[in-house]
Amino acid sequence: LVFVSWKASVVLLICVPLIPLSIVAVQKIAKRLLSKYWGVYTNLGDTFLENIQGLTTLKVYQADERKNVEMNEKAEEFRRITMKVLTMQLNSVSVMDIVAYAGSAVGVVIAIIQVKNGIITLPQAFLIIMLAADFFLPLRLLGSFFHVAMNGMAASDKLFKLLDTKEDEHGAEIPENLDGDIEIKDLSFSYDGEKTVLTIFR
């Protein structure tokens, strides 16, 4: 392309580093946001599973309505963080598209001007237009794969953190003297200080 029009080549070449730079700029924001996204996602899943497993108990103690409100709040929180992630990804894609299409457009305009001035021929201008359209496609695909990779990295961080969790240590010592009594007095239990579910008076 440089042998056809060095001006168009320089313009396209200058625009190339802007796409990786935009990826680097988004990386820190994306990592922090996706980490928070996966935290909210797993928290919602854990709460849902816990409520489903204890649905009978919640019905018996009339706590299902309170858990319903709690689930709605967590679902709304997940909706908000999901929209933030989508907004970040769309903004990043838009920036890369602007750089790619603007660079291609400038290259095409230069080719048209040079044809008008008789510097290059019409077939050469057509070659510049075709190459300018495909010039940014590899970097554009790199930007798309970047978002997929960042999402996977955030999930893998959660997974490795779980795998690195140390197992609980169980004592092996057995008390020598097991004689004695255990006495419980005035014991009660309630969920969040609302409905008492257990009371023991001795």
Q: Which of 90, 71, 75, 106 has its CA nearest to residue 33?
A: 90
- Residue 190, classed as helix, strand or coil, is strand
**pLDDT tens digits, one per residue of 3-29:** 677 777 788 788 777 777 877 777 777
Q: 0.75 cut: is pTM over it?
A: no
Average pLDDT (129-148) is 78
The yes-or-no verdict on residue 75 having pLDDT over 90 is: yes
Q: Looking at domain 6-165+183-200, does it have CATH number 1.10.3720.10?
A: no
| pLDDT surpassing 90 at residue 199 | no
pLDDT of 73 reads: 92
For the chain, the structural domain boundaries read: 6-165+183-200
Query: 179 or 49, which is more confident?
Result: 49
Residue whose structure tokens are 């001795």: 202
Q: Does 105 have pLDDT greater than 80?
A: yes
